[in-house]
Structure 1
Amino acid sequence: MLQLKTWQVTAGSAVLGLVLATGAVTAAGPWDSGQRKAERALAAAHERPGGTHHAGNPGRRPAAPAPAPSAAAVLPALAAPGAVPGGQGLAARLDPLVRDPALGSLRTAAVYDTATGTRLYGERPDRAMTPASTTKIATAVAALSALGPDHRIPTRVVLPPPTPEAAPVGRDVQRVVLVGGGDPTLGEAGLRVLAERTARAVSERGATRVAVTFDTSLYTGPVLHPIGRNPNIAPVVPLMTDEARLDRSEHGPAERSSDPAGDTARAFAALLNQRGIRTVSAPVPGTAPKGSVAVATTHSRPVSALVERMLTNSDNDLAEALARQTALAAHLPASFDGASQAMTARLKQLGLPVAGARFADGSGLNRADRLSADLLTRLLALAADPDHPELRPVLTGLPVAGFSGTLADRYAPDTAGTGLVRAKTGTLTGVDTLAGTVVDADGRLLTFAFLSSGTLSPVARPALDRLASALTTCGCTRAP
């Protein structure tokens, strides 16, 4: 069981709970993406301009969101000696909120103290329920643990060896294969890099024309998610551009291409044409022969940044890609089934309570997913453990209440949890969940998970937010 010393949780509380108020964003870790941008913007808004080279009136602070009401109470509480939340005080605060009819016909809850490694509160915490997008917390932990935060996903262009099966279709024609590596964030800039390097390599070989093949053999199994065609997720293939979005959006529901790999290959071919390398025909699907030589490679951002983006925006395409990368790291098929096996095995290896858990996908869109509140709190506590710095993006990627990601429009400015609750949301029809971290009024870092079913989201979401906010204002202590 996780055991952290008092100084560790105090430091963690200061970094994770107060960074918005103090502006100490850059000290929190090496990953600089996702919701960090919102924190930096807020920290900058609190800096006093002055001198002749600053815009606006010298000495006046620009307008910015007010700090959360509970922020002042947290600052002195960081030095509270040995107070341990829990007991009747915490139950008295949470029980009425957990029983709110707005949370539907079935609800589970767990609150975990990262300092002592103990569960402080539980309402059927071991019962596995449909977690919706809080599944992405498990996906993030599994991917970071299996791949490491610095891993980048490649997309390659290879030239087949001069064998009879790969014979050119003309004397000046070179076959090239665009090989998908599973990066759903590949964009036009990356394709341009691939095209430029490929054109150079082809020209060096004396060819002026190419026959383009695209290879999607990295993934196996169904291409469509079990929910079918849906604006929340593209076909799950290892080669696509900008998550197959057709409206140039960066997150949220969008119309998706029905042929992401083909579209990407055709865009690549067009870029080759612009560079004087003509295609002899439309790109066709195929597999890169053994012995092919890579002539161009581009990489995704590090997995740490991909995890943050996935959690902040609840990005389903990234979730499924990271789940498959986890399967590949375990030498399992990059499919829904292979990812499920790999994620379960990885979390079990980390000592997490996976009994009853089921990962039917990596995104949480599948209603067959099952996670317990206890597992979710333990996943988050592990990410806060100083012995697992590779998991820190799980925490830095969580949306911040009232400020970023899927919590940007939740929590009113005068709500206690604004700026202090960091949590992953989860929503399916009839299912609403919330799991994340808070710093309580005694300055202790807590992880929590609340899952409910039989709900109506317009009333369930505020009820979940009230639960998380209650933790930020509650010392609810007992003697150690």
Structure 2
Amino acid sequence: MNDINEETPAASFVPGGRRRHRRAKQGGNGMRRAMVLAMAVPVVSVALTGPSAFAADKGIGTTAKDTTADQATGLDADDQQMVTNLETRVLDQRLGSDVSGVVLDAESDATLWGHNAATALMPASNVKLATSTAALTVLGPDHRFTTKVVYGHGTLTLIGGGDRTLTTADLAELAKTAVAGLKAAGLTSVKVAVDDSLFPEPTLANGWNTGYYPDSVSPVRALVVDGHLVDDTSLDAGQVFAKQLLTDGITVAGDVTRATASRTDVPVARHTSAPLSDIVHTMLKTSDNNIAETLLRMTALGAGRPATFDGGTEVVRQVLSTRYGVSLANFEMYDGSGLSRADRIPAATLAEILELLTQPRYASTLGSILDGLPVSGEAGSTLGPEWGRFDDANSKCAVGKVHAKTGTLTGAIALSGLTQGKDGKWKVFSFIENNSTANPNDIKDAMDGLAATVNGCWA
């Protein structure tokens, strides 16, 4: 990967004061929010709603240091100890000097601690939090993606519908249905084409380079099977489909080609994906770049925009700012996965997005985001032991207690999520570092330690 781009000049403020939002609090709102988290996280089912408490009253002109000092006298003993420890541990040499962080109290709407919280840094895969929020809001958690097969003029055409979770087994079922129809019509030979015209021809996002293909991400197309990392996922899927036809006794004439299905073609078979909520869950647990980029395009289409990087990121911005009141100050997003080295998001903004997960009114829409956050020590997720996370003397006490999205690029590591503090209250946190020269594993250990500090187990 390329070296990190020059950093965007940072604004001088962090969210300051004991209140981040001037809205009148309804009786028991904080308690209800705490109950939502307490009930939801253990069973992997969560709630969310309401404009972010971070959306207003941000204390412009206040520095991170000033904010912490001003609040210190209002903190209880546990929070004061956490703040004191964070002030020291954020200076860990492994994290380098370009570090941004913030901790919020989900119940009281208080900003407990901030360190360069409004500084826009490269967030890596933490971008997927914004992508997920927009996708679930625009499309709905129950939305499903449809892959179709149509027949016309001697050709079966496989039509991509933006399902990045399509499998060989799914194509086998589509082929079986298609073969039954062909044989009923007395046909034993057919041509095969693929139609991926739902998305325009793939391009590179601002901040991408061709070295990403196909291992980090494939060129974004509307048709893919088994998540294959190949340059042309559509033709690859068509070839898998053709093999299934051969297995079922149909001769495939010629090579698989790309074509646009005709409106007069006859529908033959269709497959619908799992609901979007399940797909988001999988995408976040494993930090799947390809799913994220496909969701960005499908979100754009769902909002009536072109299925492009620009169309998708425009919708993300509108959803965050207009629907949820999230501040976009210093926010720069150019893709859906966070692979772009031009992406810049402050820790404060990531915390705003995550704070939505603590609000009950958004539960039915955004719940799968909290469900999908990797859990410290969870095998099979990006916070699992196979990635060396939460396994050192300082952070292993937090295994099973931190729910957070990871982010890793050359020159950028991030960790943003939620944990229940020593006082039993839920905290929202975000930490980002750029440009540290330490070993990436050492950087992650230091960042896991910050999360353990917020949890309070590393006191």
TM-score normalised by the chain length of structure 2: 0.80
1:76-475 paired onto structure 2 within 5 Å: 88-160=80-152, 168=153, 174-223=154-203, 226-228=208-210, 229-244=213-228, 256-349=229-322, 350-389=324-363, 390-404=365-379, 405-409=381-385, 410-412=389-391, 415-455=396-436, 456=438, 457-473=440-456
RMSD: 2.4
Q: Equivalent residue for 2:29?
A: 5
What displacement does 1:262 show?
1.0
AA of the residue aligned to 1:386: P
* Structure 1: gaps spanning 5 or more residues: 20-24, 31-81, 161-167, 169-173, 245-255
Q: Matches of 2:268 and 2:113 in 1, distance apart?
A: 56
What displacement does 1:222 show?
2.8
What displacement does 1:87 show?
7.0
What displacement does 1:458 show?
2.3
Residues 438 and 458 of structure 1, relative CA distance in 2, 3 Å threshold: same
Spell out, residue by residue over 1:68-107, the C-alpha distance to the aligned partner (whole angstroms, 9 max, x if none): xxxxxxxxxxxxxx98789754431211111222111311
AA of the residue aligned to 2:447: L
SS at match of 1:391: helix
Q: Matches of 1:442 and 1:117 in 2, distance apart?
A: 15
Shifted more, 456-465 versus 6-15: the winner is 6-15
Spell out, residue by residue over 1:382-425, the C-alpha distance to the aligned partner (whole angstroms, 9 max, x if none): 02211001101111111111123111121128622111011111
Shifted more, 1-10 versus 259-268: the winner is 1-10
Aligned residues: 395
Q: Matches of 2:46 and 2:113 in 1, distance apart?
A: 30
AA of the residue aligned to 1:391: L
Identity, % of aligned positions: 35
Could you tell me whether the CA contact under 8 Å between 2:398 and 2:457 is conserved in 1?
no
Q: Matches of 1:29 and 1:362 in 2, distance apart?
A: 23
Spell out, residue by residue over 1:220-278, the C-alpha distance to the aligned partner (whole angstroms, 9 max, x if none): 2534562322412222111111111xxxxxxxxxxx32222111101111211222322
What displacement does 1:202 show?
2.7
Q: Matches of 1:322 and 1:298 in 2, distance apart?
A: 18
Shifted more, 112-121 versus 189-198: the winner is 112-121
Q: Matches of 1:342 and 1:84 in 2, distance apart?
A: 40
Q: Matches of 1:86 and 1:135 in 2, distance apart?
A: 31
Q: Matches of 1:230 and 1:426 in 2, distance apart?
A: 19
Could you tell me whether the CA contact under 8 Å between 1:13 and 1:443 is conserved in 2?
no
Could you tell me whether the CA contact under 8 Å between 2:33 and 2:359 is conserved in 1?
no
AA of the residue aligned to 1:332: R
AA of the residue aligned to 1:98: V
AA of the residue aligned to 2:127: T
Residues 274 and 385 of structure 1, relative CA distance in 2, 3 Å threshold: same
SS at match of 2:355: helix
SS at match of 1:403: coil
Shifted more, 101-110 versus 461-470: the winner is 101-110
Could you tell me whether the CA contact under 8 Å between 2:174 and 2:271 is conserved in 1?
yes
